[in-house]
Amino acid sequence: MSLSPAIQPDDHAAYMRLALDLARKSPPKPTNFRVGAVVVDQSCNEILATGYTLELPGNTHAEQCCLLKLAEQHKVPEEHLKDVLPSQLALYTTVEPCSKRLSGNLPCAERVLRLAGPIRTVYVGIVEPDTFVSKNTGRLLLQDAGIQVIQIPGLESEIMEVATAGHRQVESQPSTEA
């Protein structure tokens, strides 16, 4: 069963907009970015999984949700997904995959690295800001493993606005006391 909306093959901007729409579903919190992700089989232009931050129980990231859903769908542990997935996958994610998780969970870049081969390209909307983890090396880790990382231009400000929605300080009201 295909999850694919009417997106033309290689319309990277449309897939990134879909990932951004998913990110909007994530609850805004001061302790995380709201991120959306989409896994696409490029050989047939089929969306295999979607995810967004905190979609699944626990402190889950968007990429993690995609891969956990795929593992459940194929009835294999996540670490064995490489054995059952098609060979021409792309991952679209609004924010560069993380290289470190403060929660102790496996970083998203490492999850993607387990799928090096099937995942050939990761398309990102923005690089990860230094808000939680300074100098994220997700992009470098993926590139060193032979996975292309390509930034899709045009949605940066909108992605950042959605990603950081829960980070905004509530402005204090001026005191009415004399």
Return per-residue pLDDT of the chain as tens, 178 residues.
345 458 999 999 999 999 999 999 999 998 889 999 999 999 999 999 999 999 999 899 999 999 999 999 999 999 999 999 999 999 999 999 988 887 778 999 999 999 998 999 999 999 876 555 556 688 889 999 999 999 999 999 999 999 999 887 544 444 334 4
What domains sit in the chain, N to C, each tagged with a CATH number? 12-154 (3.40.140.10)
Q: For the chain, how many residues are written? A: 178
- For residue 176, the model assigns a pLDDT of 39
- Catalytic one among 63, 78, 96, 128? 63
Q: Give the global pTM.
A: 0.88
- For residue 32, the model assigns a pLDDT of 87
Tokens read off for 162: 């959605």
Establish whether 63 is a catalytic residue.
Answer: yes
DSSP class of residue 112? Answer: H
- For residue 101, the model assigns a pLDDT of 80
- For residue 129, the model assigns a pLDDT of 65
Contact 35, 23 (CB under 8 A): yes
- For residue 111, the model assigns a pLDDT of 95
Q: Residue 122's beta-bridge partner residues?
A: 91, 149
Amino acid sitting at position 153: P
Residue in 66, 65, 61 with CA at minimum distance from that of residue 35 = 61
